[in-house]
Structure formats: structure tokens, C-alpha cells
């Protein structure tokens, strides 16, 4: 996961932009690589395959990036391995303790669930 924090707000929320990448296997999508000639297939419509129902449990708000085209990458490898990547902007709820301000440290978890 690539993470870029671009704003922190005193409402116990943090805004982040990230590239989320996950990998899983679907044996139904295995195929012959023609003796090593095919490394992977790129998928144009990612809605045509099963994907894990991952979500962020401490999300307050969020959106996918679709300015010109959906910012999503999906590859199917000969062994049935799927690589899926997408860019997301999130506002996360993060309990913050300001008692040691300004010498405090804020930790904000991205809580993934399925």
C-alpha cells in the first residue's frame, strides 16, 4: 500500500490518499501461458471478476479516482493469481490525544475488514 497523508484536521479525522493493492488466487481463471509467452492478462472491466469485499471500518468518507477513466489495474496471471490496484482518497476517524500537545504523536490506523 502506498500512502500519502495530505491533511490532518482537529476533528479527530485524517485525510489520506492511497494506492491500495491486493492479491488473491482464483483457480477458475487459470490458463495456459503458451510456454511462457504470456506473463499476464490485463483486465479492462474489473467488475467481471470476483473481488474480496474489503472495506475500511473507520472510514468517514471516501472515493475512488475516476477523473478521465477509472484508476484501477487488474491483472490475471496464468496460475490464477489476480493483482488488483486502485487509488482511493479517504477521510478516517482517528481518536487523538492532545494532552501532550505540541510534543505529541498521532497514530491513525487504516482498519481493513472483510
Residue 33 sits in a domain whose CATH number is 2.70.170.10
Q: How much is the average pLDDT of 41-52? A: 90
Number of structural domains (the chain) is 1
Whether the full predicted model's pTM is greater than 0.75, yes or no, is no
Instruction: Annotate 86-113 with b (16+ C-beta within 10 A) or e (fewer).
Output: bbbebbbbbebeeeeeeeeeeebebeee
For residue 89, what pLDDT is reported?
87
Q: How much is the average pLDDT of 20-43? A: 93
Is residue 42 in some structural domain?
A: yes
Q: Find the domain containing 67 and state its range.
A: 2-95+107-113
Q: Identify which has the larger pLDDT, 8 or 51.
A: 51
For residue 10, what pLDDT is reported?
62
* Beta pairing partners, 105: none
Of the candidates 32, 19, 28, the residue with the CA atom closest to the CA atom of residue 80: 28
pLDDT for 11 beyond 90: no
Is residue 35 in some structural domain?
A: yes
pLDDT for 88 beyond 70: yes
Amino acid at each position: 500500500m502506498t500512502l500519502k497523508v495530505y491533511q490532518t484536521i482537529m476533528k479527530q479525522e485524517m485525510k489520506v490518499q492511497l494506492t491500495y493493492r491486493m492479491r488473491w488466487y482464483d483457480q477458475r481463471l487459470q490458463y495456459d501461458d503458451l510456454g511462457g509467452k504470456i506473463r499476464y492478462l490485463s483486465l479492462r472491466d474489473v467488475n467481471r471478476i470476483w473481488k474480496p469485499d474489503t472495506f475500511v471500518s473507520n472510514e468517514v468518507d471516501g472515493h475512488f479516482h475516476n477523473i478521465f477513466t477509472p484508476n484501477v489495474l487488474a491483472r490475471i496471471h496464468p496460475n490464477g493469481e489476480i493483482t488488483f490496484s486502485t487509488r482511493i482518497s479517504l477521510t478516517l476517524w482517528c481518536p487523538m490525544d492532545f494532552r501532550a500537545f505540541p510534543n505529541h504523536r498521532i497514530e491513525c490506523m487504516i482498519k481493513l475488514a472483510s
